[in-house]
Structure 1
Amino acid sequence: MHSPIAHETAHPDASAHPDVSSHPVDPARSDHPTDHARPEHPAHHLVPAGSTLPGLVGNTPVLRVSHPLTPPGRGFWAKLEGFNPGGIKDRPGLHMVERARARSELRPGCRIVESTSGTLGLGLALAGTVHGHPVTLVTDPGLEPSMTRLLAAHGATVDTVPEPDPAGGWQQARRDRVAELLAEHPGSWCPDQYGNPDNVAAYTPLALELAAQVGHIDVLVCSVGTGGHSAGISRVLRQLYPGLRLVGVDTVGSTIFGQPARPRLMRGLGSSIYPRNVAYGNFSEVHWVSPAESVWACRQLATSHYATGGWSVGAVALVAGWLARTLPRDARIVAVFPDGPQRYLETVYDDTYCARHGLLEGPPAADPDTLDSPDEKEVSRWTRCATVRDPLHDDTAPRGLRSPLPEGEAR
């Protein structure tokens, strides 16, 4: 595989910043946790003089991740989207609002209403502040209390649904409440993150940042929830690197790739509905990861690389580490880390919470289980499948695995 030199920089214009190294880095030899692709003082370029709020979003650094998730001398590049003010969904939050305003779908001063498990809520709160819109975010009791307080602190109204829908669980209950609120507030607007093409388009800058930071990319590893960032980034990178492989990371209990919906502990990835933005044809394979396996990876990252995050970060790191161990040494692997650890101090990094939910079981297996087709069996631990189908358009899937809204507490 082609493996050109990557520059040790988090900013596309490294030459403009005297404290950013312009010396090339050989990623095959960059296995030390401190050998990372960002300047010593990231504030010098992340918060330039005279910056506006939207200027704080983007140009996030990349970090070389290696041992103990991979053997020394092997590793992958992690795009640290937690360096955005609220995380990766600051990008679509701003972009969807700006495009809706440009089309006059969202009128000045009108309310934004959306369902969220947290991160998009922060992005929409940011967009509301920038453009002068009140924001109402519909969530459920599973949202961390700290995130509820943070959203409120940023000026959003948090509306919590009291109970799950009998058939569609919490996710459907939230969507039904959004419809009620739209009817109550004339002129209000819902971004519809699951089907809005602007959600996908918002990630074009992220893809271009990766191309400038890392150079040639062989494998892109993304968590999948709404499908926005996996579709948006891969669409652009495939034009630059036609042989790119996209590996999706989902949670057990999610319906996105054809498994049955079940109660889910992890937030930020997975779904109990079929988001229209998921670009099934772009994926080379999919991995399902359990909460305990994600917790282990999150904590390994925290102690060895300092940079870590939440459920999606742990799941993506686990899969990217396996790919770095099993693919040829010169394979250039990039993983997208959607957020940082702050909102997960009461869950992923809380020993009492993890013990109560059986999440401290020790290291996961060295390799995932393998399915020949996504409907072969219901998975409960780390499992991969190289056959990726759109469940809504797959006539070979059993009816029980095609229903997007089975009974249960799926979120």
Structure 2
Amino acid sequence: MHSPNATPPTDTSRTTTPHPGHTRSGARAGTPDAATRHAGTPHAGNPHARNGQAALSVLVGNTPVLYVGEPFAPQGRGFYAKLEGFNPGGIKDRPGLYMVERARARGDLEPGARIIESTSGTLGLGLALAGMVHGHPVTLVTDPGLEASMTRLLTAYGAQVNVVSEPHPTGGWQQARRDRVAQLMRQHPGSWCPDQYNNPDNTTAYTPLALELATELAHIDVLVCSVGTGGHSAGVSRVLKQLYPGLTLVGVDTIGSTIFGQPARPRLMRGLGSSIYPRNVAYDSFSEVHWVAPAEAVWACRQLAASHYATGGWSVGAVALVAGWLARTLPEDTRIAAVFPDGPQRYLSTVYDDDYCAAHGLLDSPPASEPEVIGRLDEKEVTRWSRCTRVVDPLTLGRDAAEDDR
């Protein structure tokens, strides 16, 4: 599934700082070589535990790349999709493992202490994996929007799932979940919260993904990422911009998300967007942002499934829609990489369920051929696929407006 034309870049280890989960020779976290880096952990004296850790951790990373052309772009044009759904639980297996490893190394997470975190699902899978690898009980706080199948899966993996019943008056479900996390941490002294929205380890965890892309594609002009916590867009682009200084980063958000300055609204799409302002979002790295509506993401997901036998959830559909448009409109030799965060399994009762989609008006018509363009992030409330090329921290929008009026 890798591009037959992709060749490794020249010694990427010389231009980027090696990630703690990689050796200069490319050994991945969880291999015997990488495991020796954490000799001070409780697993170090137990060869059976260490072997078990390696067997689980080695499943994460080195995901394939798929070239996506028609029907998203005309013949001869397309983009390269990094299929993170090939990880056991999706893209957030990477930060789930890495944030826990770093917290243990610093002493922030004591042996056997409980991990408590808010999640819309995918990070929960990564933390359940990390808890199993390192021997920590895991409590995941979610909301009624989490699919029943995902709740059952998280429980099967040993996590306790705690569901909030009411959204926060201004911060929505996300803030309600965070408030519950704080409450549970008071009830469990010594527990630890990764705080994925603001934890810099969340971004650093994606260094291996960036190096994998560089090896698989040799050169990248444009990177397309969905944005939720801001972790993978910041982490991957930071490394790739060292390798390819001219790289363009395109962010993909959902309507109703506040990340890029839009008003908070109830959101149908999970896995991207936010009703808070995560500190991990690297606003100054984005050249443009696109907002995508649920029906548009559903269309793209189903087109991917029908044409490429590789698809995913809301984020995947939104990213594919935008990456396809870029492939149609940018010069033909532009090399575009898009990150597909997950696979389709958890979305069989939503994105791929005709009754669900019909009930929410998601099958009415295909998306427009191009996005609506707005000049400022807060120029208007977007309700369909839209684009803005002036990306700033939304907390500065009021100040910028005042300066524009002078």
Q: TM-score, normalised by structure 1?
A: 0.85
8 Å CA contact 1:93, 1:120 repeated in 2? yes
8 Å CA contact 1:311, 1:348 repeated in 2? yes
Aligned-partner Cα distance in 2 for 1:114–1:165: 17
Q: Which of 371, 375, 388 is 1:368 aligned to?
A: 371
Deviation for aligned residue 1:226: 0.1
Deviation for aligned residue 1:165: 1.4
Q: Which of 91, 104, 107 is 2:94 aligned to?
A: 91
Paired-residue identity, %: 78
* Larger deviation, residues 145-154 vs 389-398: 389-398
Specify the code of the residue in structure 2 equivalent to 1:305: H
Aligned-partner Cα distance in 1 for 2:172–2:373: 29
Determine if the alignment matches structure 1 residue 377 to structure 2 residue 373. Answer: no
Q: Secondary structure at the match of 1:212?
A: helix
Q: Which of 122, 129, 132 is 2:125 aligned to?
A: 122
Q: Deviations over 1:150-194 (max 9, x none)?
A: 000000000000111122211111000000000000100000000
The residue correspondences of 1:150-165 to structure 2 (distance < 5 A) are 150-165=153-168
Q: TM-score, normalised by structure 2?
A: 0.86
The answer for the alignment partner of 1:201 in structure 2 is: 204
The answer for the alignment partner of 2:314 in structure 1 is: 311
Aligned-partner Cα distance in 1 for 2:263–2:400: 11
Q: CA RMSD in A?
A: 1.6
Aligned-partner Cα distance in 1 for 2:171–2:79: 37
* Larger deviation, residues 327-336 vs 358-367: 358-367
Deviation for aligned residue 1:362: 2.2
Deviation for aligned residue 1:329: 0.3
Specify the code of the residue in structure 2 equivalent to 1:303: A
Deviation for aligned residue 1:139: 0.2
The count of residues paired between Structure 1 and Structure 2 equals: 357
Aligned-partner Cα distance in 1 for 2:246–2:366: 33
The answer for the alignment partner of 1:72 in structure 2 is: 75
Query: Higher helix proportion, which one?
Result: 2
Deviation for aligned residue 1:7: 4.3
8 Å CA contact 1:391, 1:397 repeated in 2? no
Q: Secondary structure at the match of 1:334?
A: strand
Specify the code of the residue in structure 2 equivalent to 1:337: F
8 Å CA contact 1:375, 1:398 repeated in 2? no
Deviation for aligned residue 1:397: 6.3
Aligned-partner Cα distance in 1 for 2:365–2:153: 32
* Structure 2 gap segments, 5+ residues each: 13-50
Aligned-partner Cα distance in 1 for 2:240–2:170: 38
Q: Which of 114, 134, 138 is 1:135 aligned to?
A: 138
Aligned-partner Cα distance in 1 for 2:57–2:69: 32
The answer for the alignment partner of 1:183 in structure 2 is: 186
Q: Secondary structure at the match of 2:116?
A: strand
Q: Deviations over 1:339-397 (max 9, x none)?
A: 00000000000000000000002210000000011111000000000000101233336
8 Å CA contact 1:111, 1:134 repeated in 2? yes
Aligned-partner Cα distance in 2 for 1:351–1:138: 29
The answer for the alignment partner of 1:274 in structure 2 is: 277
The answer for the alignment partner of 1:6 in structure 2 is: 6
The answer for the alignment partner of 2:241 in structure 1 is: 238
Aligned-partner Cα distance in 2 for 1:245–1:165: 36
Determine if the alignment matches structure 1 residue 103 to structure 2 residue 106. Answer: yes
Determine if the alignment matches structure 1 residue 248 to structure 2 residue 247. Answer: no
Specify the code of the residue in structure 2 equivalent to 1:346: S
Specify the code of the residue in structure 1 equivalent to 2:6: A
Q: Secondary structure at the match of 2:338?
A: strand
The answer for the alignment partner of 2:59 in structure 1 is: 56
Q: Which of 284, 293, 300 is 2:296 aligned to?
A: 293
Q: Which runs of 4+ in 1 moved over 6 A?
A: none
Aligned-partner Cα distance in 1 for 2:374–2:144: 34
Aligned-partner Cα distance in 2 for 1:210–1:349: 29
Deviation for aligned residue 1:5: 4.4
Q: Secondary structure at the match of 2:373?
A: strand
Determine if the alignment matches structure 1 residue 259 to structure 2 residue 262. Answer: yes
8 Å CA contact 1:375, 1:397 repeated in 2? no
Aligned-partner Cα distance in 2 for 1:362–1:306: 22
Q: Secondary structure at the match of 2:176?
A: helix
Aligned-partner Cα distance in 2 for 1:61–1:5: 14
Aligned-partner Cα distance in 2 for 1:362–1:165: 33
Determine if the alignment matches structure 1 residue 173 to structure 2 residue 173. Answer: no
The answer for the alignment partner of 1:348 in structure 2 is: 351
Specify the code of the residue in structure 1 equivalent to 2:144: P
Q: Secondary structure at the match of 2:279?
A: coil
Aligned-partner Cα distance in 1 for 2:168–2:323: 35
The residue correspondences of 1:214-233 to structure 2 (distance < 5 A) are 214-233=217-236
Q: Secondary structure at the match of 2:223?
A: strand
Aligned-partner Cα distance in 1 for 2:264–2:169: 13
* Structure 1 gap segments, 5+ residues each: 13-48, 400-411
Q: Secondary structure at the match of 2:399?
A: coil
8 Å CA contact 1:113, 1:178 repeated in 2? yes
